[in-house]
Amino acid sequence: MKHDARTALATLCLMLCIYACPGDALAKHLPASSIPAAMLIEPAALAAELKSAGRAKPLVLQVGFHTLYEEAHIAGAEYAGPAAEEAGLRELGLRVKSLPKDADIVIYCGCCPWSHCPNIAAAFDRLRSLGFTHVRVLHLADNFGADWVDKGYPVASAR
Amino acid sequence: MKTVRAPRPGRRIGAAALLALGIAALGAGGARSAAAPLLNRPAPPFTRSDLAGKTLRLGDYRGKVVLLNFWATWCGPCVAEVPRFSAWQKRYAAAGLQVIGVSMDDGGAVVKRFLRRTPLAYPIVLGDARLGRLYGGINGLPQSFLIDPRGRIVARYVGELDLARLQMQIKALLPRRPG
């Protein structure tokens, strides 16, 4: 009994610690690992797809932080975030509201290493819960700079 | 008791210049060394107000080793690193270290909230796309630059750092021996 009480107290402390943790966006983010591997697209494949003529291009949405979008983003991508925050998820919902549920959508973030990203899984989760069936997620293992910009794939900035 | 004489500052800076090559080549462990157009060049100057409202000019820190850390409150690895940087600021300030944090958060309010919970012993300025581009593109965090006492960038680290190794690199560059 005593042991149970101690365990409960320790769990409560841990939870309080996690929720009071620095970085509001970090407090309770879904891990990127929760996204099924089949939904991922690698940077080279997306770059080729965006480059190819004669086929419809997907809607590419940056669901991360605006400062990073402003500095550099995939050419043609729109901003709809940050998905780590409820306001960002609302923005995302508004952007896709008028689209058919089978719209071809690619989302990406790349704010930090994949396993630490607070945005990407939240955005994926929201789009799926809204009923979108063709959502792909750009897999940026290190970050947008290393995995997209440094590779020479097309970039635009919001100057 | 053996007394160790501190090398003259000039000698230390000379040795640091040689060391810089090694630092640039090795990086800091886990961190990836980014494309290096800024390496061994003067750190781009900037002037900003820090979150306490005080004017911060990078050029004012000439003569010190500067660890310029781009971070954000939403970046897990960044948040893990900054308490160590704060400890180094306290420990090595007299030996010539200055840590400067550049927050890439979308606004200062969230950073101020963070700092109330986790006070840092060094100034934080708010970054933006312009400052990011000035430093070769901050398209992912964390990123840090090590600037020597002559104001030249001797290393750029992208991603999670091996903090023990970075600490050794900083100590080797300091103009004065740590107490």
The residue extents of the domains of chain A are 23-156
Give A100→chain B minimum CA distance, Å: 31
Mean of per-residue pLDDT scores for chain B: 86
Q: Which two tokens stand for residue B66?
A: 């500067």
ipTM for the assembly = 0.81
In one letter, which amino acid is B150? R
Helix (H, G, I), strand (E, B) or coil at B42: strand
Q: Is A37 on the interface with B (CB under 8 A)?
A: no
A2-6, B7-11, B160-164, range with greatest mean pLDDT:
B160-164
Give A137→chain B minimum CA distance, Å: 17
Q: Is the pLDDT at A144 greater than 70, yes or no?
A: yes
Give B28→chain A minimum CA distance, Å: 16
B87: exposed, middle or buried (Cβ count in 10 Å: 0-12, 13-18, 19+): middle
Q: Which residue has the higher pLDDT, A26 or A110?
A: A110
Q: Which of B77, B104, B137 sits opposite A113 (nearest CB)?
A: B77
| Percent of chain B topping pLDDT 70 | 80
In one letter, which amino acid is B28? A
A80 contacts in chain B (CB < 8 Å): none
The reported pTM is 0.83
Which pLDDT tens digit goes with each residue over B148-178?
Answer: 999 999 999 999 889 999 999 999 999 998 8
Instruction: Tell me the pLDDT band of B119, cut-offs 50, 70 and 90.
Output: very high
Residues 6+ apart with CB under 8 A from B40: B20, B24, B152, B153, B154
Cβ separation B74–A23 shorter than 8 A: yes
B104 contacts in chain A (CB < 8 Å): 65, 67-68
Which pLDDT value is given to residue B178?
Answer: 86
Which pLDDT value is given to residue B37?
Answer: 78
Q: Is domain A23-156 in CATH 3.40.250.10, yes or no?
A: yes
Cβ atoms within 10 Å of B59's Cβ, excluding its own:
11
Q: Is the pLDDT at B25 greater than 70, yes or no?
A: no
Cβ separation B139–A20 shorter than 8 A: no
Q: Is A156 on the interface with B (CB under 8 A)?
A: no
Cβ separation B74–A158 shorter than 8 A: no
